[in-house]
Chains A and B, each alone.
Chain A
Amino acid sequence: MTQTIVIARYNPEQDEKPHHETYQVQSDDNTSVLDALQQVQQQDPGLSFRWSCRMAICGSCGVMVNGVPKLGCQTFLRDYPAGLVITPLSNFAVEKDLIVDKEPFLDHLSAIKPWLINTAEGTQPYVQTPKQLAKYQQFANCITCGLCYSACPQFGLNPEFRGPAALALAHRYNLDSRDQGKAQRMPELNAKNGVWTCTFVGFFSDVCTKKVDPAAAINQGKVESAKDMIVSILKPSGAR
């Protein structure tokens, strides 16, 4: 059957601001938003959007569908009988059509040092029990697609906010028994744009494609941040 979709278009060389254009696509029960975008690209090769794996693991094809952040490959036209409006991810600057500049997001990610920090020397393998793994495993499922940043009004209001994915990953590494970098990450969590900017809107936990629940991670981070402050007050000044 034929379905009508509306796509936000923006050509930085011609347009003052984005505008909407309407397209007709052929769809059946298996047609994803990404499939539909590729059909439109056949009609209009100028349409720009990101995609790669088509199986919800690379996290490239994020777009807003009727105002809600979604992965294009994981969202199906059959669920939108009343039609759908596809726009670029909110809270990011649009480069062209559905492509946004994710640089601010990547800066926030790298700021919290999302990797194992361990001073142990040698090539011994890390040992970890299933119980130790279970502590952080949920938060390790993040594919850094950035959908949560488009579902976070606090990030929309204040782009300096480290944001859901970065703070969830900071928590993930802080909970990892192999990691010793917590002392390096806590200043970022404690800072003005760290965990305390979050007001637990929590919508991004709903849109998270991997059920990471970044809102839980950030608010568990608040508990850690509060403990960190109490410890820093109680410690003798020389030991800080």
Chain B
Amino acid sequence: MSSEQNGRRPYLLPLRRDWWLQLRFYRLYMLREATVLPLLFFVGCLIFGLYSLGQGPMQWQYWLEFMAKPWVFMLNLLTLAASLFHAKTFFELFPRVMPLAPPRLMIAGQWIGTVVVAVGLIVLLGGYV
């Protein structure tokens, strides 16, 4: 028997395109996903830097000046903030995916690891050793 014959007429409301604006939880989720956008710009900067390095001192100097431009600096500051926000959400989700230790311990461990790696890279690449 078809739906019409037995009086059934199920009504399915499709998911609205702006579903992610409806609840705070969804807005934060989309913000987490959107952190990749400024990161794309930073990755572009790094690739441009590598290219410049291969082109010689003039081009390298140009890249350094480009990176120091206020709008580039501000965009990369945004990238840093976005990446830290993404790291926070990732570190909080990770203990649920791999429950190896108490969640608070795992979250603290990941932040300590991040700081150690970041400081290590700055010391190593910043010419401090």
Show the binding face of A for B, using Cβ within 8 Å: 10, 12-13, 17-18, 67-68, 90-95, 101, 153, 156-157, 199-203, 206, 213, 215-216, 219-220, 222-223
For B7, the chain A residues whose CB sits under 8 A away are 12-13
Identify the closest chain A residue to B95 (Cβ).
A216
Q: A91 to B16: give the CA distance in the assembly, Å.
A: 11
15 pairs, A vs B, C-beta closer than 8 Å: A10-B11, A12-B7, A13-B7, A17-B11, A18-B11, A18-B13, A94-B10, A101-B10, A156-B15, A157-B15, A201-B29, A216-B97, A219-B93, A222-B97, A223-B98
Let me know if B69 is at the binding interface, CB within 8 A.
Answer: no
For A93, the chain B residues whose CB sits under 8 A away are 10-12
Q: A203-B23, A220-B97 are in contact. List 11 more A-B contacts (CB 8 A).
A: A13-B7, A92-B12, A94-B11, A95-B8, A95-B10, A156-B19, A199-B33, A200-B93, A202-B29, A216-B97, A219-B93
Q: A93 to B93: give the CA distance in the assembly, Å.
A: 32
Let me know if B62 is at the binding interface, CB within 8 A.
Answer: no
Q: A199 to B34: give the CA distance in the assembly, Å.
A: 13
- Whether A12 contacts B97 by the Cβ 8 Å rule is no
- Whether A153 contacts B9 by the Cβ 8 Å rule is no
A12 and B96 in contact, given A90-B13, A153-B15, A203-B25 (Cβ under 8 angstroms): no
Let me know if B20 is at the binding interface, CB within 8 A.
Answer: yes
Show the binding face of B for A, using Cβ within 8 Å: 7-13, 15, 19-20, 22-23, 25-26, 29, 33, 93, 96-99
Q: A91 to B10: give the CA distance in the assembly, Å.
A: 12
For A13, the chain B residues whose CB sits under 8 A away are 7, 9
Which of A91, A206, A216, A222 lies in contact with B25, CB distance below 8 A? A206
For B26, the chain A residues whose CB sits under 8 A away are 153, 201, 203
For B93, the chain A residues whose CB sits under 8 A away are 200, 202, 219
- Whether A219 contacts B8 by the Cβ 8 Å rule is no
Q: A223 to B29: give the CA distance in the assembly, Å.
A: 22
10 closest Cβ pairs, A-B complex: A93-B10, A156-B15, A12-B9, A216-B96, A93-B12, A219-B97, A94-B11, A203-B25, A201-B29, A101-B10
For A92, the chain B residues whose CB sits under 8 A away are 12
- Whether B96 contacts A91 by the Cβ 8 Å rule is no
Identify the closest chain B residue to A159 (Cβ).
B12
Q: A68 to B22: give the CA distance in the assembly, Å.
A: 10
Identify the closest chain A residue to B19 (Cβ).
A153
- Whether A94 contacts B29 by the Cβ 8 Å rule is no
